[in-house]
Structure 1
Amino acid sequence: MQILDILFYLFLGVVFSQVILYVFVYGKFIFKKPAQLTACEAPVSVIICAKNEAENLKRFLPDIIHQNHPVFEIVLINDSSNDDTLEVMKTFAEQHANIKIVDVKAVETFWGNKKYALTLGIKAAKHNLLLFSDADCKPVSKHWIREMLSHFNGQKSIVLGFGGHTKVKRSLLNKLIRFETLTTAVRYFSFALHRMPYMGVGRNMAYKKELFFDANGFINHMRVKSGDDDLFINQVATPGNTAICFSKNSFTASPPKTNFKEWLNQKRRHITTASYYRFKHKILLALIYAFQVQFWLLATLLLIVSHKWQIVLALVLIRLSIQYIVFALAAKKLNSKDLIVLLPFLEIFLISIQLFIFITNLISKPIHWK
């Protein structure tokens, strides 16, 4: 058998695998409707860890303060800021009795480690239900808390939400960031529905305080400076204790990076954290990425050399058509419809950047939490 025939059959396998992924794995999320649950009025502690976020707190904290929920406290954690973050927190606390401030001083053992600051904030929280967001995040509605909390019950102790990014017109970087956010959300929502939860995002997630202490907090990965959200969920999530929330009133939105270098450094940190996931999750994510790369490389090669090009072209069109349908429906659910027209370009660009990041991380370690 000639090498081109081997590559052709390999391409057939890759296309088949991707169709299975899009139709049967992602399809479970795509066609799932938001659950109609009874509003939860249980008390909750909203936890926000901030390091040098004075301006963002002024801008976004009012949207959390004015949430439509009967009983909630806001735990503001000042993680050794050197700007006016603490002063801004104190100003809000003077005006709102439900705000609690945890002022974290730098400790040499945990220098620059957000997990240490978060642990102190969680300990200070007085309610069992904990809802997390970032200082630069804005709930898209006044019902954010209620929507997220409505998924807790006797079995569910984790709720994964969607933390999107605001749209910036005529910005390719903005589209790339939002596309990466979209694909990540589709993936972790889908696998959670298939009883294989593996991550969440700190911009919008919730879990029970008792779960945190039963797992001894971040102790198993305290030396890893990132991963206070996804790595912790990877550790404690089980097929039965995790719910997802994707109703549009439950979303949060944050300003995306406007500088490519800053975004690249952020992605380097995230990819480094993923190397600490459970083995089965690392293998699964590696296979998904490998099939993406192989699809484009093999399709390009086989079309260039015109080896069974009619079949190859037909398979490319079938795969792209299925991908378009799946992501169009996902984008509609997650308020990202404008991204679909650039889908193939954004996918190729993103997987190329991810390959570059992987190689770069082998050479040098990324900078962590501010």
Structure 2
Amino acid sequence: MNIPHPNTFETILLALMLLVWLWQFFFLFRRILPVARHKNTSISDTDLPPVSVVISAKNEEENLETFLPDVLNQDYPDFQVVVVNDGSEDDTDMVLTRLKAEHPHLYITRIAPDKKFYHGKKLPLSIGIKAAKHEILVLTDADCQPASDQWLKHMVSAMRSQHKELVLGIGNYKKTKGLTNLWLRYDTFTIAIQYLGFALRGKPYMATGRNMAYTKQLFQKTGGFKNHIYVASGDDDLFVQEAANKTNTTVCVAPQAHTISTPPSSFKKWREQKMRHLSTSPHYKKSIKFSLFAEPVTRELFWALTLYFIFFPNFALLILPFSLLLFLFKLIIWKKASDKTGMGKVFWGLLLFDIVQPIIIAFSHFGNLTGSKKRKWK
């Protein structure tokens, strides 16, 4: 291989490419590979402690009608479902009352409508947790459907078998046709394997409120949501930031333990939702913010430098094999993580979205900086 002697500019680019390559490889190996290698906990059919499922619902009559029966009909020996009707103005109360007659283990509590006082999601969740009669809490949303009737068994077994206080689960989107749906599921997948991988390496930093579990004692010990009550979102990730550590947290990635949600109807609605979720990121720990910032930046640099060396090919024979090796390594890990979590062939989205994902997320962050600072929970 005849490689010319690099000039100063090319030396800088080659050194930068080496740093980018090393960081990306490190991130894949340390933060994502643990998910692909994780062994799912076997569920237990005996000695299962009682559980309280907590759901906050605001104008959710259709979703409660459709999805709540699957929560109420879990194959679990002793559990209650606490639904907080948060000032709904539709027929939520009627739906809940009817379901209560059919399912005695459904407990309903209500917050009166108050148009002068906006309180977000944390208040109804706090009320629901206080009303829960059992120590183990499993949280989900009104628009979520358990992937199976073994959902509770998997979540609780993960907690009990490893003697943990907090379990991070997966909230997936329903698969439909179209590129937008593939993007939504791919983005959800990449976020999930990232926060799960961090947790498996002893650095838990977020969860999804659509599927997580913790003990009431942990909630009380942490002070609930009081330290970030002023932030509209964060009942999941900001709570994890305060309550989780490398010894009290585990994950549950079994496909039967997912919750499934109806995806946003358009890319615009997804972006609005994404901006609301990203509004909590400034409150993350500095080390986490650095890692989450460095990964997409080095990823974009990786692609930019790879394309540069393709169009200016003096060092293409040196760079391209390493670029191909890194991308194939990432694709293999994505596939194994997809298989482990039961999220299907969504890993192929890597071929379409790996370059554009950081750009789209950056525009969502920018929207938070330039738009309204008050992202309301709906």
- The TM-score, its normalising length taken from structure 1, stands at 0.95
CA contact (8 A) 1:235 1:278 kept: no
The separation in 2 between residues aligned to 1:89 and 1:16, in whole angstroms, is 54
Instruction: Say whether residues 1:36 and 2:36 are aligned partners.
Output: no
CA contact (8 A) 2:41 2:154 kept: no
Q: Counterpart of 1:365 in 2: which secondary structure? A: coil
Overall identity of the aligned pairs, in %: 36
Cα deviation for residue 35 of structure 1 reads 2.2
Deviations 1:4-40 (A, max 9, x none): 3212210121112111221343222211221235445
**How many equivalent pairs are there?**
369
The separation in 2 between residues aligned to 1:340 and 1:248, in whole angstroms, is 15
CA contact (8 A) 1:8 1:302 kept: no
Cα 1:41–1:110, aligned 2, differ >3 Å: closer, same or farther? farther
The separation in 1 between residues aligned to 2:78 and 2:348, in whole angstroms, is 43
The separation in 2 between residues aligned to 1:183 and 1:224, in whole angstroms, is 25
Unpaired runs of 5+ in structure 2?
A: 1-6
Alignment match, 2:4: none
Unpaired runs of 5+ in structure 1?
A: none
CA contact (8 A) 2:164 2:248 kept: yes
CA contact (8 A) 2:43 2:153 kept: no
Q: Counterpart of 2:280 in 1: which secondary structure? A: helix
Instruction: Say whether residues 1:152 and 2:152 are aligned partners.
Output: no
Deviations 1:218-250 (A, max 9, x none): 000000010111111111001100011112221
Deviations 1:49-97 (A, max 9, x none): 1111110111111111110111111101111122111221111112211
Alignment match, 1:185: 192
Which deviates more from structure 2 when the two are superposed, residues 232-241 or residues 311-320? Answer: 311-320
CA contact (8 A) 1:176 1:350 kept: no
- The 5 A counterparts of 1:239-254 are 239-254=246-261
Which deviates more from structure 2 when the two are superposed, residues 246-255 or residues 331-340? Answer: 331-340
The separation in 2 between residues aligned to 1:301 and 1:357, in whole angstroms, is 27
Alignment match, 2:8: 2
Cα 1:109–1:10, aligned 2, differ >3 Å: closer, same or farther? farther
Cα deviation for residue 110 of structure 1 reads 5.6
The separation in 2 between residues aligned to 1:63 and 1:180, in whole angstroms, is 26
Identify which of 298, 316, 319 aligns with 2:323.
316
Identify which of 182, 186, 208 aligns with 1:175.
182
Cα deviation for residue 124 of structure 1 reads 0.8
The amino acid that maps onto 1:28 is P
The separation in 1 between residues aligned to 2:54 and 2:314, in whole angstroms, is 57
Alignment match, 1:236: 243
The amino acid that maps onto 1:163 is G
Cα 1:85–1:305, aligned 2, differ >3 Å: closer, same or farther? same
Deviations 1:176-197 (A, max 9, x none): 1111111111111111111111
- The 5 A counterparts of 1:1-370 are 2-36=8-42, 38-39=44-45, 40-106=47-113, 111-153=118-160, 155-169=163-177, 171-365=178-372, 367-370=375-378
The separation in 1 between residues aligned to 2:33 and 2:117, in whole angstroms, is 42
- The TM-score, its normalising length taken from structure 2, stands at 0.93
The separation in 2 between residues aligned to 1:334 and 1:363, in whole angstroms, is 36
The amino acid that maps onto 1:4 is E
CA contact (8 A) 2:35 2:196 kept: yes
Deviations 1:271-296 (A, max 9, x none): 11111112221122111222222212
CA contact (8 A) 2:41 2:157 kept: no
The separation in 1 between residues aligned to 2:333 and 2:117, in whole angstroms, is 43
CA contact (8 A) 1:155 1:240 kept: no
The separation in 2 between residues aligned to 1:8 and 1:323, in whole angstroms, is 21
The amino acid that maps onto 2:376 is H
Q: Counterpart of 2:202 in 1: which secondary structure? A: coil
The separation in 1 between residues aligned to 2:260 and 2:291, in whole angstroms, is 28
CA contact (8 A) 2:183 2:349 kept: no
Q: Counterpart of 2:279 in 1: which secondary structure? A: helix
Q: Counterpart of 2:196 in 1: which secondary structure? A: helix
- RMSD across aligned positions (CA): 1.7
The separation in 2 between residues aligned to 1:282 and 1:303, in whole angstroms, is 32
The amino acid that maps onto 1:5 is T
Q: Counterpart of 2:313 in 1: which secondary structure? A: coil
The separation in 2 between residues aligned to 1:225 and 1:307, in whole angstroms, is 52
Q: Counterpart of 1:200 in 2: which secondary structure? A: coil
